[in-house]
Structure 1
Amino acid sequence: MSGKDRANINHADVATGTTQYVTVVIGGQLFGLPINQVHDVFAPESVTKVPLSPPEVAGVLNLRGRIVTAIAMRRRLHLEPLESDQTMMAVGIEYKGESYGLVIDAVGEVLNLPESSREPNPTNLDQRWAEISAGVHRLDGQLMVILDVARLLGAMMSEPLAA
């Protein structure tokens, strides 16, 4: 998707009062990423470990010639790792000029949701999810947590390394 196409989507969002989300599943929970933040959805072939990196950093991977930092979302959310026989999926995003691949369990669909149905985080939302959430949407018997990329990566990347 080109920058022009992304700008057109953003303009349409304002005009219609809706936001498009790419949905992903992590640990059985549905999450949504605003589509204007998603650059790629892919199945990484391999991840190269990086010594002394934060535990959430699974390593780096090559995405069409670019080096991308792979973030293990299950580790970031303090969940058990996936079974080794499951296919790794990732969503490519940009944050502060750097490329990241959020390693997730599964990719869902693109949903077009009205901003009027967006709600603040419920008080009983798991703290691990609340700290990276920009609100929620209630869908047919399911809660979609909206991932806030700045909160997700900002706090993690600013943590000092242990001595």
Structure 2
Amino acid sequence: MEENNNQEVIQYIVAKIGHEQYGVNIQHVHNIERMLRITRVPKAPYYIKGVVNLRGDIIPVMSLRLKFRLDPDEYTNDTRIIIVKIDGNPMGFIVDEVKEVINLTEDNIEKIAKDSSDEKNIYVQGVGKIGKELVTLLNIDGLINTND
């Protein structure tokens, strides 16, 4: 699929959390699972719901709603766990719904001005534009490797 100016096309999986749409770079996505039974882990950070056993792998699961200081998760038939891998380490993200895969080029992505005082900027790498809709593009590395 060629875009004009031979720009690289980056694919993102679009997930809904509340009324907002978030994009996860498909390169990091290992798989997408229906809601699994989560085993709580003592003394885990507030946004870590616990771990799941996925085909023999024990994977920590994070609530993006809690990480972003939104209302707690309400599990429905649409709730999914997006399993990502960074540096070979898997992590699950609970999202309200997985919508679609989109293709973006650099022309469709607005970079976010980095304001070190706003912790959300660690989690966001930009905003994708699809027609009139905006998708917040997540920085998976920042989400996983922040200590809060």
Cα distance change, pair 94–135 in 1 and its aligned pair in 2 (3 A): same
Q: Quote the Cα distance in structure 2 between the aligned partners of 1:131 and 1:142.
A: 22
Q: Quote the Cα distance in structure 1 between the aligned partners of 2:59 and 2:74.
A: 23
Q: Quote the Cα distance in structure 1 between the aligned partners of 2:22 and 2:93.
A: 12
User: 1:120 corresponds to which residue?
Assistant: 111
Q: Which of 43, 47, 54 in structure 2 is aligned with 1:52?
A: 43
User: 1:18 corresponds to which residue?
Assistant: 9
Q: Quote the Cα distance in structure 1 between the aligned partners of 2:10 and 2:94.
A: 23
Query: What count of residue pairs does the alignment treat as equivalent?
Result: 139
User: 1:139 corresponds to which residue?
Assistant: 130
What's the secondary structure of 1:155's corresponding residue?
A: coil
8 Å Cα contact 1:56/1:73 also seen in 2: yes
Give TM-score scaled by structure 1 length: 0.77
Q: Which of 14, 38, 42 in structure 1 is aligned with 2:33?
A: 42
Letter in 2 for 1:109: E
Cα offsets for 1:45-64 (capped at 9, x unmatched): 20000010000100000111
Cα offsets for 1:49-88 (capped at 9, x unmatched): 001000010000011111000001100000001335x233
What's the secondary structure of 1:31's corresponding residue?
A: strand
Cα offsets for 1:89-135 (capped at 9, x unmatched): 11001123321110111001111111222111269xxx564330011
Cα distance change, pair 154–107 in 1 and its aligned pair in 2 (3 A): same
8 Å Cα contact 1:118/1:137 also seen in 2: yes
Across the aligned residues of Structure 1 and Structure 2, the Cα RMSD in angstroms comes to 1.9
User: 2:88 corresponds to which residue?
Assistant: 97
User: 2:68 corresponds to which residue?
Assistant: 77
What is the deviation of 1:44? 2.8
Unaligned runs of 5+ in 2: 1-5
Cα distance change, pair 118–138 in 1 and its aligned pair in 2 (3 A): same
